[in-house]
Amino acid sequence: MKVTGRIFTIGLISAWYSSNIGVLLLNKYLLSNYGFRYPIFLTFCHMTACSILSYIAILWLKVVPMQTIRSRVQFVKISSLGLIFCLSVVGGNISLRYLPVSFNQAVGATTPFFTAVFAYLMTLKREGWITYITLIPVVTGVMIASGGEPSFHLFGFIMCIGATAARALKTVLQGVLLSSEGEKLNSMNLLLYMAPVAVAFLLPTALIMEEDVVGITIALARNDVRILWYLIFNSALAYLVNLTNFLVTKHTSALTLQVLGNAKGAVAVVVSILIFRNPVSVTGMLGYSLTVIGVILYSEAKKRGK
């Protein structure tokens, strides 16, 4: 039984790694190499898949028990989280149009910094001084990586920073808004309610800001039907990221997920460089390495602080 359990856990972790890195690389391929320059519509496809597949997984397959929304106030809170979650995904997808995956991951590694800032601003929660010191190499590493990045793009960098900050804000807000026992939702049920909110926001936004995107996508599909399969597979992967993230946490621990996440970023960087062959500098890699070391130290300091 123990061997079977280990094989199952290893399989889950492999699926989590594959889906995370896969959706990141496929996003980059579609938005940059393939020429499908519609990040908002791409995010709309992701959120639509998350809405449909969440419904199937929870209501039909009973992957997790269904949790209901108990009040209008709770719905407003969840909708707010859905909007912020949506902005973080859109920002991340936009940044991939302009930045290589390696640099995108370096900037994304600064999430703990923004989480600590928002936690202090919104809850006045202070960490130990050692925890704050560990954030110095996190930020310094990104500054060094930015200076040494051959493919640096200011707008892409701003979008990536915005996406990272929005992701951290959503995490902190989730703890604040859904803090009471009656309002807490597991991540899969939260996605079930957040994704349709994101779809409702993204559809008109894509139609307005990415003019005739539906017609262009249909025209692309007539010339190359693979675009439809790319979008369907990519959207399914986006849901699988959330599902495997939940299952890995459930079958291991949040700390294990954090450690695996740090390693995943490094794996994604190496794989993306091998596939897309984007130029990298020694300075950039040193900066990213410093950021990862800072994140590991931050995680260790947080663990000891508890």
pLDDT at 1 over 60: no
Cα–Cα distance measured from residue 258 to residue 245, given in angstroms and rounded to the nearest whole number: 11
CA angle 92–209–163, rounded 5-degree value? 15
Number of domains making up the chain = 1
pLDDT tens digits for 141-189?
A: 999 999 888 989 999 999 999 999 999 999 999 988 888 878 889 999 9
Q: Structure tokens of 147?
A: 């200076």
Range 18-39 average pLDDT: 94
pLDDT at 42 over 80: yes
pLDDT at 306: 61
pLDDT at 249: 84
pLDDT band at 2 (very low <50, low <70, confident <90, very high): low
pLDDT at 81: 95
CB neighbour list of residue 281: distance below 8 Å, 6 or more residues apart:
148, 149, 150
Range 17-39 average pLDDT: 94
Range of the domain at 120: 2-305
pLDDT tens digits for 244-282?
A: 989 888 887 666 777 777 778 888 888 898 898 888 888
User: What length is written for the chain?
Assistant: 306
State the average pLDDT for the chain: 91
Closest of 32, 293, 274, 292 to residue 153, by C-alpha: 32
pLDDT at 127 over 90: no
pLDDT tens digits for 55-77?
A: 999 999 999 999 999 899 999 99
pLDDT at 287 over 60: yes
Q: Are 95 and 104 in contact (CB under 8 A)?
A: yes
pLDDT band at 9 (very low <50, low <70, confident <90, very high): confident
Cα–Cα distance measured from residue 304 to residue 35, given in angstroms and rounded to the nearest whole number: 47
CB neighbour list of residue 225: distance below 8 Å, 6 or more residues apart:
none
pLDDT at 241 over 60: yes
